[in-house]
Structure 1
Amino acid sequence: MAHTSEKYTKNPMIHRDRRLALSPSAWVRSFACEDLKPLIVCRGPIRKEAMDVYQEMGISHYGILLSEKDSIVYPNALAPELRTLTDSTRVHRVPDYTGASKEERVERIHQIISIAKDNGYDSIFAGYGFMAEDDEFVGAIEKAGLNFIGPCAATQTGAGKKDEAKRTALSVNVSVTPGIDNVTARTLVKKHGSREKLLALVASDGLQCDAKVLADEKLSIEDLADHILYASYNKGIDLFSIEELCAQVEAECAAMLKKHPQSRVRLKAIGGGGGKGQRLLGADLLTMQNASDADIAKAAADAPGLVREILNEVKANGVGDNKNVLVELNIEQTRHNEIQLLGNGDWCIALGGRDCSLQMHEQKLLEVSVTQEGLMTAIEEAKIAGRKAEVKALESDLKVLRRMEEESERFGKAVGLDSASTFECIVDRDRHYFMEVNTRIQVEHRVTELCYALKFVNPEDPKDFFVVESLVEAMALLARHKKRVPKPQRIVRMNAAVEARLNATDASLSPHAGGMIRYWSKPIEGEIRDDQGISMVNPDTGIFMKYKVAGAYDSNIALLLTTGEDRKTSYDKMSEVLRATTLRGSDLATNLEFHYGLVNWFLGRNVMAKPTTRFVVPYLTLVGTLKEEANKLDPVYAFLQMKKNYAKRVSEAYPEPDVQAKEAKNMSSLLDRKGTLIIRPIERLLGDPHLLSGWLSINTKNFRIDNGKVVWLRNPVGVLNETYEYLHMNHRPHKPAAEIIWSHDNELLQQALRFSRTLREHFGLARDEYFTLNEIVNKEEPQGGFDADTWQQIRSAHFGYEAGLELLGMLFLVGQNTKFWDLRVEEDLEITIPEYLTDPELQARMKKILVPPPATKADEIVAACGGMYYGQEAPGMPPFVYEGMHFEKGQPLYIIEVMKMFNKVYAPFAGTIDKMLVTSGDGTIVSKGQPLFKVTPDEKFVEVDVNALEKEKRALTSDYLKAVL
């Protein structure tokens, strides 16, 4: 393993000249890549990154593959990269990248190779799409005499297929997840029963097998079956039916669920990735102390349907396809960690880790660097602060990271890794299990390259070297010079980096395709944005060019990255980036607010916390409860009631009618001046629960609740000012008034801040000594050397500036009433998830609270989201529903394919299908809210009484006011 104490650069945005051909060193010049001629056959941010890197490397003869889906099926989704690559001879078109079927996929492989050869390209780069880890595609490229910029076909087969990778891992003493990697072999053995019958099958079907393998009686019957299966794939025939495979998987799942009580089973296609081709079963067993055989059988009975979904999703349900599916124990409380690898076939180097536990739908959301240097920095900080449990937890992480790096390098050498790949593990406290290898560069690769650079040193002269900062560049270097490339040293650039995936999803993180981006703010200082050029403006007019978010591919729009000397700094910068990012469009939904709330949730707790892969759904459920509670409050009504409360106080304080009238008028005028100053940020926070979640977290230490009353521990004036900053509503003269604090409100707020700061400094108090300041100001006798008149003016001003700010306390009560702080980070960095947040029914209900279903009539069922409609589980299977059929609540009605994923949609109520409104069949594009079926519900829908709701809202708001006034 490579270690270093050398620091390369403080600024990750500063790049060395990538043109090695310009070096004065002959040895360095010998590694120039300017004669490389790559065809880029991927899309999205990685395509733009490859174009930029190749340009900087001096590679001028490169081209891109453009899918017609980008520009024909989805108008205005034309690849924004074409704004910089204007040479039409370097843009090559195909209908889509991989084809819709096995036959189309083979056709597309040959088409791409023909395009490369006909246009003078000598290599192909496939980025991080599925083509990048397709051994058949890579093998065809190599057979055609072209270079593949990525792992070779042999490595793709040995490491890229999940079953083969698991066997290799076991052979080199790498810990793996408990499970079964040869269910297809077991299916074949179950069908034929003996070695003799398997050998007879070889003869009857004319399979080309290795005679030595067939004659080896020491070989287990399952290994023999595996060998025969591979021969059947080569011939393009099936030796068992999908039904037989499904039955075997069901039996294996039942056995595993019985062996591991209160667990779930994960089914994974061997060629899946990025969350595609994976399903979980057994959720109902998690809470059962003593599940019966009948309970287990019921859970396992879901397996056949899930297997069909998986094979359909990864397009492995054709005749002759390898249909193997991994059946693994799902390690429930796990973190998803991965190690970046680089190799040349002889050597392999680990480049630190990434924590990718913050994910949903098996799709990563927030990815954080995990490096030895970063962990050691955090350990020292925790030691200085005296946080012993945290020190122990971080030291455990450091040991696990070192073990993972060592094992990953051993695995990489075993499979002859000759490019970039990722060694993925699940981590359970101080243990880790190898999960799979992604034989491609990852979406989150920038998290690693922002932490480490690569120093390649001349073996004959240690002063002769060159530095590579980009993994895309390193892959090109390895593809061009192969085993000539010496093993590099890794050099620390920064101790921490974090990446947020900006996706086209709604507030519940469900896919939301079809929106139009019409404006995107410019990146701020310290922001690294990979957005494939979407946010580029027209170079002639300076006007933003609108972009359609298509649903044909994944949901990612951009990758936002920041760095720091420690994780907190990188999170602080990410918070600032998300705060300053403005996206506008029509029918546009992104997870920007989710990320902002989540990052600030960690900033308010502990950024070194250890979330598991189960964190996001309970967190979203908690955010849903915030919205449900916030929907019951009326801040305008609260403000008006507060004015009445103050009027009552005045009447009690001044019994003389004339004085009372005067003071009441003054108080009413004062509060009216502050109305919008107070109400606007409260309305914004109540209106967006993701923003409210982050705000509550970072303000955790600014209040407490005593006997049901909110007690401020910090000056509410300062909290209000920070709230405007948090909401990006602070005063900025160039912004529209609707987006910022209004000028008269800002003037009043700045006056209040100056007064508070001056008074605090006079008494020598720190910012967090507000409680002490309040005690001083509440004294009637003059304090601090002031005379009586001045002291009364000070007290009046203090009271006036803070009057009305009590309403902010309603936000704390929303958190209190939803048990917001019960989801917490413990001293040992583990996260406690309250049990109620794991309730599937509550999770489903809160998802609808976050994003209410589309408006519909009582006699219709409409599309839950936009995408491609399928009315059956797989080709040849019966339809889910048909006209005249009665359906039950929770029964599957249809499948929507959106952002690469197949989403099964279930009936929200029981009823009868009167008419099918989607007449063109499977593969039809539908939009969100589009009627799909005319139905007759079993029960009549009850209309909501709006007046009763408003009455309830005001009653609850009044209860809140009692706790803050």
Structure 2
Amino acid sequence: MKNRTTQLNVEIETMEQNTDLYANNPLIHKDRRLGQASSEWVRSFGCEDLKPLIVCRGPIRKEAMDVYEEMGITHYGILLSEKDSIVYPNALSPELKQLTDNSRVHRVPDYSGASKEERVERIQQIIDTAHDNGYDSVFAGYGFMAEDDEFVAAIEDAGLKFIGPCSGTQRAAGKKDEAKRTALEVNVSVTPGIDNVTARTLLKKHKTRDQLLALAKAEDLSVDDDGKMSLEELADVVLFASYDKGIDLFSIEELCAQVEAECADMFKNYPGARIRLKAIGGGGGKGQRILGASLLMNKQPSDKQVAEAAADAPGLVREILNEVKANGVGDNKNVLIELNIEQTRHNEIQLLGNGKWAIALGGRDCSLQMHEQKLLEISVTQEALTAEIEKAKKAKNKAQQKALESDLKVLKAMEEQSERFGAAVGLDSASTFECIVDGDRHYFMEVNTRIQVEHRVTELVYSLKFVNPDDKNDFFIVESLVEAMALLAMHKERLPKPERIPRFGAAAEARLNATDCSLSPSAGGYIRYWSKPIEGEIRDDQGICIPNPDTNQFMRYHLAGAYDSNIALLLTKGEDRIDSYNHLSTVLRRTVLRGSNLATNLEFHYGLCNWFIGNNVMAKPTTRFVVPYLTLVGKLKEEALKLDIVFAFLSMKKHYAKQYADDADAAKAVSETLDRKGTLLTRPMEKLLNDPHLLSGWLSLNKKNFEIKNGKVVWLRNPLVILEETYEYLNMTWREDAPAAEVIWTHDRDLLNNALEFYAQLREKFGFEKEEFVKLNDILGKAKPQGGYDADTWAKIQAAHVGYEIGNELLGLLCMVAEKTDFYDLKVEEDLEVTIPDYLHDPELQAAMKKVLVPPPATKADEIVTPGGGMYYAQEAPGMPPFVTEGMHFDKGQPLFILEVMKMFNKVPAPFSGTIDKILIEGGDGTIVQKGQPLFKVTPDEKFVEVDPKELAKQKQAITGEYLKAVL
């Protein structure tokens, strides 16, 4: 797989050249231009004649362009939306730097349209564009209409190829309700729940077969009843006929009432659990809500408690339908009602098929997610797990070995079931079989009938070997799923079932998103600078970091947020998982983004990545990990804000001045030594204390480097070595081309290097192969000269040791922040399970720490402002009453409005109780608002009391003084 937007480490080519697979065989073909192969059989699979229209955005659009060019496809076009972040009027689309033929660049107002009518119009527009410009196929990537069976059917009916699963597969597997029914038919494990609430809603009004048939006749619906269908199956047939005609047979209110009743029954049948509501056509976390938080762990809820919990369902159903735009007349409004498996991991299997065969290409662990959107994805393969099991055996770690063996067993079962499911639905392209894993069990969740955002994770661990059935030495290699999809679109049934060939042992992908420190979407900013990719980094960024070819200047990138928050996909690979994590940590550390009003999750990823490196990268976090983790990071920030590092340093100087009060020369020497070390110590400490995500990673990496005895920090490694590693961790090592503010200062660098060289010479002298700081420190504390040194030299060595180490105690303040927040109580156990302290699940604490991480915008005491930029909605759904009106009293936590940011609908709660005096926003639903924009004039129930800054400073100094007792 060649890198498309930047560079891919040459290790890939080197590794492949060194394998037997490619050893001097003239029949082997790895070049993507199959039509130029020496083998007649390989040439027959050439795709140079394919003429695709790319109707997607983001990194996948640029990737498809690159792959098609590498395949020798010369006639392809792209579709640009006027709402896209990097299309006029905001900036030039980066793809236009590559595709300079304007006749192959086509524009639409919006990819899928804001309504059903617009969607139908857009589909026809895409078909007309293809026909008018000589395209014979359509590639929809992983967004918009990639999983829309009506769109795919329209493409097929127009005589075009769809580069993706056909409409039949889309119908059988793409809709979550249909997929679940198919899974049940082929003995695939599924989550308990209800997949036909719309049919049940219809049967609530028309209870018998005769009544259903009478309804169909009255509405002139084409329904064939063979008398063998169940009532619910017949109801579904009637409903699908109504969708074709574009009419509704029940109201949204009737649907909501049915969902509420079904939820109440499920709460009774599964006491102590929550329920997940899912739109059948959602994706990327959209169209999903969870209810029943008040009943969680309550094994004997009362009827009243059940009714109160179920009463939230109607509002959530409306939100879901709005979010996936399925609230129009004639839309399929079915919603899955499923038991929410609480402590679960989210695993998925990459599938590929040609309609006859289906092959699984390993798994990906996508458990690290928030708002149902994935953040960090890790490869899971049988080969990698087998290797880790052997490591655990050698280490005699039976608990970890058993946990990994369980994972291997589950992975094999998921792969086997995915292939069975793929064959059942006639899968003829790339899709993903998604499951939730609970211990040693798994449940099928859904199938994404498209290529996934994280597909490159799979490409890095497996390639595909297509072999001539008549000659096993005649074959070609495919390393790109985008390429495989094009091959399938052209040759489908002719393609033999491939063999999966391991490439790298592990791969990881971090999604770089436009979100703030609490992972809330943050639209509206501009990227004005982005550092170049480093060696080993695979960056899929749509090409936005490529400079303008005319000016060689970086083109600003506007995070408009019309579609989603993703900026780039950062991938790494390695021999095993720890290797890939270490590479990812390096990439994240070396990535520099600058801009205006810019917020990303870069620091979050860096902290999280190093949390796992410091604990165990083979850990089994669940989908409920990120929010408690963020809450703990918020506690770190809350505690760190209490410290005044400058005051701490000055207090430390005073402490030593008292110690050496009887020796003026010594006191002066100590004072001068501390002054020389001041910025060496305080600069990285201030950076860590000012960013809790960085602090989280640092504390995780250093958890075994110190201990606390009798309330005092005791270093188990030399603090100077840790300080050197800290500068590296913060990307502050000396670089000639870097601004002074971003790196260690030269005098600090020289001091640190001299100190490290001093200890290196002593280690060599005393024969220490490792650092052995505790032993070395004990030796240097002996009055009698050691190591053959004379008394005078020994005294100088001891004095130098004191000078180099004095003041380093200050680093211990960081360790005490961990101690005060119980940071290390969030941990990975021997069996790889993650222990999350119960208090981190407290919703009130989570909300409070979210505000600590990202304080609300500055506002007057009599105003309520928007927490971020986005699209304002005053009501839950069209036709519903507004959340608040002038003169209305509101309670703390009550929804005031909806803010749509990057396609996610967020109800914004009242931060306090009060009365709406005046609604300030002009314009109706869909009005664009900016962060901090006043929306309401209010009278709070309680007056706000501002804290005196001088008093706050005194409090910080007092707390810092208490902290110092643990390090001095």
| TM-score (structure 2 length as normaliser) | 0.97
Measured against aligned partners, the alpha-carbon deviations of 1:724-771 in whole angstroms (never above 9, x if no partner) come to 000000111111111000000000000000011111221122434211
Q: Does 1:602 align with 2:616?
A: no
Q: Within 5 Å, which residues of 2 pair with 1:569-580?
A: 569-580=579-590
For each residue in 1:103-160, what CA deviation from the matched residue of structure 2 results, as whole angstroms up to 9, or x when unmatched?
1111111111111111000000000003100001000000000000000000000000
In 2, distance between residues paired with 1:539 and 1:794? 59
Q: 1 CA distance for matches of 2:469 and 2:900? A: 53
Q: Which residue of 1 aligns with 2:323?
A: 313
| Alignment partner of 2:857 out of 854, 858, 865 | 854
Letter in 1 for 2:312: D
- 1:67 alignment counterpart: 81
Question: 1:690 & 1:941 partners in 2: Cα distance?
Answer: 30
Report the counterpart of residue 157 of structure 1 in structure 2. 171
1:837 maps to which of 837, 840, 845? 840
- Structure 2 counterparts to residues 11-410 of structure 1, below 5 A: 11=15, 16-70=30-84, 75-210=89-224, 214-216=225-227, 218-410=228-420
Distance in structure 2 (CA, Å) of the matches to 1:767 and 1:282: 54
Q: Deviations over 1:287-336 (max 9, x none)?
A: 43432111111111000000000001111111111000000000000000
Q: Counterpart of 1:130 in 2: which secondary structure?
A: coil
5 Å matches for 1:621-632? 621-632=631-642
Give the SS at the match of 1:408. helix
Letter in 1 for 2:60: I
- Aligned with 1:883: secondary structure? coil
Corresponding residue to 2:684 among 681, 684, 687? 681
Residue type matched to 2:431 in 1?
Answer: S
1:699 to 697, 702, 725: 702
- In 1, the alpha carbon distance for the partners of 2:878 and 2:886 equals 20
Unaligned 5+ segments in structure 1 are 1-6
Pair 1:8–1:730, CA change in 2 (3 A) = closer
Whether 1:887 and 2:890 are equivalent positions in the alignment is yes
**Equivalents in 2 of 1:795, 1:766: separation in Å?**
21
Work out whether residues 30 and 476 of structure 2, in 8 Å CA contact, stay in contact via their aligned partners in 1: no
Q: Report the equivalent of 2:463.
A: 453
User: What are the within-5 Å matches in structure 2 for residues 701-720 of structure 1?
Assistant: 701-720=704-723
Moved over 4 A (4+): 7-15, 71-74
Partners of 2:183 and 2:190 within 8 A in 1: yes
Q: Between 42-51 and 375-384, report the one with greater CA deviation.
A: 375-384
Contact 1:12–1:494, Cα closer than 8 Å, also in 2 = no
CA contact (8 A) 2:432 2:451 kept: yes
SS in 2 for 1:695: helix
- When structure 1 is superposed on structure 2, of 76-85 and 615-624 the one drifting more is 76-85
Gaps of 5+ in 2: 1-10, 19-28
In 2: Cα distance, 1:804 partner to 1:507 partner: 32
Q: How far apart are 1:529 and its partner, in Å?
A: 0.4
Q: Which residue of 1 aligns with 2:24?
A: none
What is the alpha-carbon distance in structure 1 between the residues aligned to residue 199 and residue 624 of structure 2? 32
Report the 3-state secondary structure (helix = DSSP H, G, I; strand = E; otherwise coil) of the residue aligned with 1:963: coil
Shift of the alpha carbon at 1:774? Answer: 1.1
Counterpart secondary structure, 1:732: coil
Aligned-partner Cα distance in 2 for 1:354–1:88: 39
Q: Deviations over 1:772-829 (max 9, x none)?
A: 1111111111111111111111111011011111000000000011000000000000
Cα shift readout 1:259-314 (whole Å, capped 9, x = no counterpart): 11111100000000110000000111114343211111111100000000000111
SS at match of 1:167: helix
Q: What secondary structure, in the 3-state scheme, does the structure 1 residue paired with 2:611 have?
A: helix
Q: Distance in 2 between matches of 1:243 and 1:372?
A: 48
> Comparing 412-421 with 195-204, which one deviates more in the overlay?
195-204
Q: Does 1:774 align with 2:784?
A: no
1:619 aligns with 2:617: no
Cα deviation, 1:48-73, whole Å, max 9, x if unaligned, reads 00000000000000000000113799
Residue 868 of structure 1: aligned partner: 871
Question: SS of the residue aligned with 1:462?
Answer: strand
State the 1:341 CA deviation. Answer: 0.3
Judging changes above 3 Å, is the alpha-carbon distance between structure 1 residues 34 and 139 closer, same or farther for their aligned structure 2 residues?
same
Kindly report which structure 2 residues correspond to 1:709-748, keeping only aligned pairs within 5 A, or say none.
Answer: 709-748=712-751
The 8 Å contact of residues 77 and 550 in structure 1, kept in 2 or not, is answered as: no
CA 1:716–1:12 in structure 2 vs 1: closer, same or farther (change >3 Å)? farther
Tell me, in whole angstroms, the C-alpha distance in 1 between the residues paired with 2:778 and 2:805. 15
1:670 counterpart (659, 662, 673): 673
Question: Does 2:787 align with 1:789?
Answer: no
Aligned residues between the structures: 948
Q: Structure 2: how far apart are the matches of 1:215 and 1:590?
A: 57
Rounded to whole Å, the distance in 1 between the matches of 2:85 and 2:950 is: 49
2:921 pairs with 895, 918, 921, which one? 918
Q: Which amino acid aligns with 1:355?
A: D
- For 2:196 and 2:659, the matched residues in 1 are separated by 77
**C-alpha contact (below 8 Å) 1:563/1:573 kept by paired residues:** yes
Distance 2:770 2:117 in 1: 69
1:230, 1:883 → 2: CA distance? 43
- The correspondence of residues 895-906 of structure 1 with structure 2, limited to 5 A, is 895-906=898-909
What is the deviation of 1:538?
2.1
CA contact (8 A) 1:45 1:558 kept: yes
- Deviation of 1:382 after TM superposition, in Å, equals 1.3
Partner of 1:4: none
The structural deviation recorded for 1:539 is 2.7
**1:540 Cα deviation (Å)?**
3.7
What corresponds to 1:509 in structure 2? 519
Q: In the alignment, which residue of structure 2 is the partner of 1:820?
A: 823
Identity level (%) = 75
SS in 2 for 1:882: coil
Contact 1:12 1:450 in 2 (8 A): no
Aligned to 1:3: none
Q: What CA deviation, in whole Å up to 9, does each residue of 1:373-426 have, x standing for no partner?
A: 111111111111111100110011001000000000000000000000000000
Residue pair 1:632, 1:957 contacting (<8 A) in 2 also: yes
Task: Using the TM superposition, give the Cα deviation of residue 251 of structure 1 relative to its aligned residue in structure 2, in angstroms.
Answer: 0.7
Corresponding position: 1:582 with 2:592: yes
The residue type paired with residue 349 of structure 1 is I
* 68-77 or 639-648: bigger deviation: 68-77
Is residue 86–residue 93 contact of structure 2 (8 Å, CA) maintained in 1?
A: no
CA shift digits 1:491-516 (9 cap, x unpaired): 01111000000000000000001111
Say whether the 8 Å CA contact 1:70–1:77 is kept in structure 2: no
Matching residue's letter, 2:933: Q
Judge conservation of contact 1:623–1:693 (CA < 8 Å) in 2.
yes
1:158 counterpart letter in structure 2 = A
State the AA in 2 paired with 1:579: R
RMSD: 1.4
What is the alpha-carbon distance in structure 1 between the residues aligned to residue 640 and residue 30 of structure 2?
51
Deviation at 1:939, TM superposition (A): 1.1
Give the secondary-structure state (helix, strand or coil) at the position aligned to 1:70: coil
Q: Deviation at 1:74? A: 6.8
Q: 1:198 to 1:567 in 2, by over 3 A?
A: same
